[in-house]
A = this chain, B = another copy of it.
Amino acid sequence: MRIHLQNQPNDRLFDFSHAMWDEAAVRAGETGHQVTIGTTVADFTSAMTTAEALVCDASVIKARFPCPAPHLRFIFATNAGLDRLAPYDWLPPGAILMNNRGTHAAKAGEFALMAVLMLANRIPEMVTHQRAGRWEKLWGATLAARRITIVGLGALGGTLAGHAARFGMPVTGVRNTAAPHPDCARVLTMEALDSVLPETDILVLACPLTARTRGLMDRNRLSALPAGAGLVNIGRGELLDQDALCDLLESGHIGAAVLDVFTPEPIPEGHRLWSTPNVIISPHTSADDPATYNPRSLDIFLANLRAHRDGKPLPNQFDIARGY
């Protein structure tokens, strides 16, 4: 197959290389493909005249499509959340869009567990005290004493549910269907979210941004959490009302937050988030480990190619109607 890997013009840390491809091809038993790697617009345009498959970051897709790509059948975006590509009318007719779900599970799962531990141990408040040069004893708790609700049980939320359950936390999962999950004591549908908020010590947002989840945690829902509750957001900034969150952190109703995603990104200089108390700001890197990102991405891409050749469903095919 004619496969093109397009690197971003200004992100050497996440560049694909031919050596990386060759190793992945050997791992997958998929040697023999014709592979090009490009960086410039000219590289891209030239490759699209013959490429059957494209692997690149969503920002490349956003910048270059629609464009002439007569043979293109597979587009593999190296991101999990593709919300910024909606609506998907730029997709060449007949081409299959895939996302990179699964790549992030290990790294994001560890980050999420860390965030939950930081809330249970009251690190965000300690950091606020530290900023003021103030010593004040603050007592945390073990995870088993905290009720966690995880919105979204995909690769990120599902991995966290496993970690949380192993530490004895009673885990409530919330997703589109109430199908059971092995690491959740119970799973509720999105419609039941309101009922569980008052019983939630730590709320984790780990769902994709779709028309349905945009603004999910509005001011009313954030206020429905019990006083002192903690919040983790590793989904998208637009899942919540960020101003309401800042207000509630300032009033103390929300005890602390660990956030990896924001509206907008980067957070502008002088933005109120920088001085909001009891919040930890991670610069949207929770899910990405540069040392393993590209090799894992290629493994997933090649597994999908194999599935297609075997006539099986593609595990990473993006569902445009659902938006994830």
**Partner-B contacts on A (CB < 8 A):** 13, 106-107, 110-111, 113-114, 117-118, 120-121, 123, 126-127, 129-131, 133, 135-145, 167, 265-267, 269-271, 274-275, 280-286, 288-292
Given contacts A13-B139, A142-B292, contact A117 B113 (CB under 8 A): yes
Q: Are B142 and A106 within 8 A (Cβ)?
A: yes
Chain B residue numbers with a CB within 8 Å of A139 are 13, 285, 288-290
Given the complex of chains A and B, what is the CA–CA distance between A289 and B274 in angstroms? 30
Q: Are A282 and B135 within 8 A (Cβ)?
A: no
A118-B118, A130-B280 known, 7 other contacts, Cβ within 8 Å: A110-B121, A114-B114, A135-B266, A137-B285, A139-B285, A139-B289, A140-B289
Q: Are A289 and B142 within 8 A (Cβ)?
A: yes
Given the complex of chains A and B, what is the CA–CA distance between A114 and B284 in angstroms? 19
| From B127, B137, B289, contact of A280 by CB (8 A) | B127
Q: Are A137 and B289 within 8 A (Cβ)?
A: no
Sampled A-B contacts (17; CB under 8 Å): A106-B144, A107-B140, A110-B143, A113-B117, A114-B117, A123-B282, A127-B127, A129-B283, A130-B281, A131-B131, A133-B270, A133-B275, A135-B265, A138-B285, A141-B289, A142-B289, A145-B289
Chain B residue numbers with a CB within 8 Å of A292 are 142, 145
Given the complex of chains A and B, what is the CA–CA distance between A110 and B274 in angstroms? 28
Q: Are A283 and B137 within 8 A (Cβ)?
A: yes
Given the complex of chains A and B, what is the CA–CA distance between A3 and B284 in angstroms? 56
Q: Are B135 and A267 within 8 A (Cβ)?
A: yes
Q: Are A291 and B110 within 8 A (Cβ)?
A: no
Given the complex of chains A and B, what is the CA–CA distance between A114 and B291 in angstroms? 22
Chain B residue numbers with a CB within 8 Å of A265 are 135
CB-based closest 8 A-B pairs: A114-B117, A135-B266, A133-B274, A130-B281, A139-B290, A141-B289, A137-B283, A106-B142
Chain B residue numbers with a CB within 8 Å of A129 are 281, 283
Chain B residue numbers with a CB within 8 Å of A141 are 107, 289, 291
Given the complex of chains A and B, what is the CA–CA distance between A271 and B269 in angstroms? 28
Q: Are B130 and A274 within 8 A (Cβ)?
A: yes
Q: Are B142 and A107 within 8 A (Cβ)?
A: yes
